[in-house]
Structure formats: C-alpha cells, structure tokens
A and B are shown apart, each in its own frame.
Chain A
C-alpha cells in the first residue's frame, strides 16, 4: 500500500510537470494553430543551457537559471520569426513536418554538443530527500511541484488579468478581429513561442536536476500528446488536468504491471493506449472545443 501511495505521489509530481509542458504546448497551439512536435527539445535545450552555465562557468544556480530563461525567451522568438513565420497559411502537414524537422535537428545538435550520456546537475538543495506526510520524497520533486503550481497560477493570472494576456486570448479567438482592434498578431505569435519555450525550459531544468540531463528529456515532448488530447487540444485547464492524469496513470500502470501482469514497459506505453482510446471515443478531449464545420 505504501508503494502504491508512493507511486501516486510520484505520479502527481511528474504529472504536474507534464501539465506544465502540456500547458506551454497548448499555448502555442491556441495562439498560432501550430502543433509543436519540438516541445520536448525545448526542455532539452533549456536543461543543457542551464547545465552548461552551471558547470562550465560555475555560476550559482540563482544567476544561471535566469540567464537560461532569458536565452530561451530569445530563442523562442527567433525560432518563430525565422522558421515558423514563413509557414503561416501552409497546409497542416507542412507545419507539422517543419516542427518535426526542428526536433530532429535540435536533438542531434544537442547530442553532438553535449554527448549522449546523462550528466548530473551540481547539487542545488542541501538535503536530497524530505518527509512529506510520512513518505520519502526527493526535495527537488517537492520544489518542482511547487514550481509547477506557481507556473500554473502565473498562467492563470497572466491570461485573466494582464493586458498582453488578454491580447493573446483575443488573437487565439479570432486573428482578424484581434488585428482590427490594434493587436499585433505577429508579436503575439512570437510571444507565445517565447513564453512556451521559457516555461518548458523551467520544466526541463527541474527534470534535469532530478534525473540528470540527457536526450531522454525530449520524451516529455511525446508524452505531452496523450495529456493534451485527453484534456482537449485548445484548453489550458485540460492540459494541466491531462498532464496530471497521464502522470498518475503511468505510475498506476507500472504498479499494476509489476504486481499482476508482468508485461513490462507499461510505464512508457500505457499513455499511448489511452491516447488511441480517447481518440476513438472522444476526439476533442475533456475540455476541447468541438470542431463544427459548416459549408
């Protein structure tokens, strides 16, 4: 039972991270209708940048981390302006393939620069584990859960109360109307990519601190799909919830598997079975907008 509880807690923590990544994925999709297959590489790039700053330049974490975020911000804008902007109005297959191409390029480049082996972060917290309601949980996990909640709250505030957030929502709702109201749609696109890259980098650094940085991080970019499909492609709340469910589901699947089924590898594969099932039953997810087509 303790094992089960432990798995559940792990699931929630990892799920919260999935939620954060899914949220930044949905942000891009909502704003610019681009499905970003390179989301996982954002995590990877962010984590490697931070790792590099911390180990090669021996910067303390509280300096290295903000620099990483600024870098990701600039990176996101440049990526949108240089690569994605020419793709506006192209058929969906082209846009998807461009982001897939980007993901391959980034992944290979990261392997090239930093090697294929996982590299640990320098220790950031004094004690590696803490006691949470009688369960041994890694400190980083607790902090990551806190960070995830903070980011989600930040998102909520940003879209609800800030002027830019409102402009972004307007752009997502209807680009033409937004433009006629004086909103720079181009800037909103660039901004959504920048924020998305930045938030993903936070998640990347968090995972990197826990597991070490390696190209395995980019699997988050794939795991994001079950989460967003479950929640609905264009719903931020759905993304968070989907992420949580996928995180818990993975761990439960692994538990069930190790206890009774012994199929192996359920941790990796279970979300994809769920993904197919959802697409068959309820393709627009829990909170997604139904596509109603009129002729």
Chain B
C-alpha cells in the first residue's frame, strides 16, 4: 500500500541505500524543499484566516501522524487519540505554570510525559489486538476525559488552564504570523523523524507486525515490545501536537477532547491514507477544511428553498458533524486507500500520458 509508485522502466535499485531514501526521486525531494520554502513565505501575504488554517493543519497533522504510525503502520486501532492530544496540551501548560519550565522545553517534555501515559494505557495493547484494543482505547478515552474534568490541580477543572505564549530569548511567538514558523519547524522535524523511523529496523518491524504478526514473531520480532513502542510513539506525537495547540490558543479547556475529536483524527488518517506519511498531511488538510467548506456551502444556498426547509443556519454544527461521519464512510467505501493513493494514480497518469499502457 505504502510503496506503490510508478517507476520508469530500467530504473533498478542496486543497493539498499538507494532503495530506502527519504524521497523516492530527486524531483520529489526538490519539490518538498520548494514546498517548505513557499510555506516559509506564507505569513508575508496570507491573511489571518488562512494562517490559522495552516497552523491547525500543522499541529493536528503532527498528532495525526502519530496515530498513523499506530494504526497505519502497526495495525493497532486506537479510538482515544484526542485524550492523549489533550493530555499533552495540559501537561505542557502545567509544566510551565506549576514548575516554571520554559515553554520551549515544556513542549517536548509534554511529549515525553504523554508518552508515559500512552505506555500506561498501551499495556493492554501488548496483549490485545484489533477489536479488543479498540475497545480498550475507547475506555481510555472516557477515563482520561473524566480525569481532565476532575483533576483541578492539573487541568484547572471546569475553568480550564492558561498556557503562556512560547518565548525564546525574549522573543515572543504570540501572533499567528510568528507562531506559524514554530509549527512549521515542529512539523517538518516530526515528519522527517517519522519518515526516518520507517527506514530503520524498528520501523520495518512495525510494518511487519501490521502485515502478519505471526510471521513477524517467527522472524524474531518481539511483538509486545513493538506494539507497546508504537503506542508510546503515537502518544508522543499526540502530546507534541497537543502542546503546540495549547501554546497557540494560550488557553486549554477541558471540554474539547471528546470522542468525536478522536474520531476526527481517525478520519484524517483514513482520508489521507493508512500507512502513508504524506497522506496524513493531506487527510489533515481535508479534515480542517471540511467544516469551512460546509460553511461556504451553507452560505451558497442561503436564502434558497433548501435553506429554509432545513433551517441550515441554526443547524450548521450538526451539518458539520454529519459531514465528518459521511466523509469517513464514503472514503471507506469508495476510496479505502485514501487521498495518497489517488494522488499517486494522478501522478502515474501524467507520467505516462498520453500512452498509459
């Protein structure tokens, strides 16, 4: 699934090194670098709305990548990702407020703390798989959500907690334009880390566990170790994403981290493509723009008969919720490999155009 790409005939890989490069071709690498450079220029000409969207894609994309490592690469299902995301957000704010840890340090530390929590809840993961694990993580979601509501010392209870803006050497990243770079750097680093992880022995072990765990075990892969590790990595990414979210909004409320949010994360990776790193980003972008698209759609039909019949204006929240569910179902039925797969097909089509056979 992950490595289907059209390679021109005669292009043989002669060493493992060339077969496992980060980017399959030089062109794709150059395009990726170009993309990052273009993004660097974004704050100069984009307005706040688009910057906000891009920042959201950034921190949600990091968390979603963690989930994709767990679900897409290791084949373990988690329905409690938003709880870990929330835990990271609270942990970072708490480390900063209570212990005076500078924010720049609190964000990675929050990731580490969340990893600990992830490993704790990942302990059942060592024994369970598939369905049973899904149900265990569902329980984790509810337990953590309850913990957020109750632990006043950690989350501020119903009042929520304030997270200070990120400041490095007296330079405060408190506007969208400035914070954009923080998220961009974090995202690039985390995505490169994930890509590299998949090139290592450990990454291949994860994929082996997904593809056929019995064969993997026979080949000497320690199932317990890799399942738990994958859970930890996923929690780490969620924690980093959550911490970035906290210091972006500078306020964390206990209500946000519901099961619907967890399902949105799952939606992102399914839409993007399970087991695809770039797909994760596409799926996240899709999920972030979906509510806006619904809003735009509502605006488009406002005043018409459809609008009055369905009373769209008051029910836009439900429309958004419904669209999330519908998109997930439609993708699973019609495009189970996600946007990444579609993108590859489009690329392949143009590569061979007009002689596709």
Contacts and interface: CB of A to CB of B under 8 A. Distances in A.
Interface of A: 35, 83, 86-87, 90, 92-94, 96-98, 100-105, 107-109, 111-112, 222, 225-226, 229, 233, 263-265, 268-269, 272-273, 275-276, 279-280, 283, 293, 295
10 contacts: A87-B332, A98-B333, A100-B266, A104-B325, A108-B325, A111-B321, A225-B138, A275-B136, A279-B124, A280-B124
Contacts of A98: 328-329, 332-333
A273 B144 CA distance: 11
Contacts of A92: 77, 130-131
Contact of A269 (B124, B143, B267, B326): B143
A93 B310 CA distance: 33
Contacts of A229: 132, 135
B276 to A, nearest CB: 14
A103 B333 contact: no
A199 B311 CA distance: 33
Contacts of A102: 325, 329
B270 interface: yes
A198 B79 CA distance: 27
A25 to B, nearest CB: 12
A102 B257 CA distance: 20
B197 interface: no
Given A102-B325, A109-B318, A225-B139, A283 B127 contact: yes
B12 to A, nearest CB: 32
Interface in B152-198: none
Interface of B: 71, 75, 77, 79, 123-124, 127-128, 130-132, 134-136, 138-140, 142-143, 146, 149-150, 214, 218, 260, 263, 266-267, 270, 274, 310, 315, 318-319, 321-322, 324-326, 328-329, 332-333, 336
B333 A87 contact: yes
Given A272-B139, A273-B143, A101 B328 contact: yes
Q: DSSP class of B's interface residues: helix, strand, loop or mixed?
A: helix
Nearest to B140: A276
Contacts of B142: 222, 268-269, 272
Nearest to A29: B131
Given A98-B332, A225-B139, A104 B134 contact: no
A166 to B, nearest CB: 27
Contacts of A268: 142, 146
A97 B332 contact: yes
B139 A105 contact: no
Nearest to B259: A222
A131 B325 CA distance: 45
Query: Top 9 nearest A-B pairs by Cβ distance?
Result: A104-B325, A105-B325, A108-B321, A101-B328, A108-B322, A272-B139, A101-B329, A112-B318, A101-B325
Contacts, number: 121
A97 B149 contact: no
Contacts of B127: 279-280, 283
A93 B71 contact: yes
B136 A279 contact: yes
Contact of B270 (A97, A104, A272, A295): A97
Question: Which of the listed residues A108, A111, A222, A263 has the most CB atoms from chain B within 10 Å of its own CB?
Answer: A108
Contacts of B139: 225-226, 272-273, 275-276, 279
Contacts of A105: 322, 325-326, 329
B325 to A, nearest CB: 3
Nearest to A90: B336
Given A98-B332, A104-B321, A105-B322, A112 B315 contact: yes
A223 to B, nearest CB: 10
B135 A225 contact: yes
B143 A272 contact: yes
B16 to A, nearest CB: 29
B132 to A, nearest CB: 6
Given A100-B266, A265-B150, A269-B143, A279 B328 contact: no
Contacts of B124: 276, 279-280
A233 B130 CA distance: 13
Contact of A93 (B77, B315, B318, B326): B77
Given A100-B266, A279-B128, 14 more contacts: A35-B134, A98-B328, A98-B333, A100-B79, A100-B325, A101-B263, A101-B324, A101-B329, A105-B325, A111-B318, A112-B310, A112-B319, A264-B150, A280-B124
Contacts of A96: 77, 131, 134
Contacts of A226: 139
Nearest to A285: B132
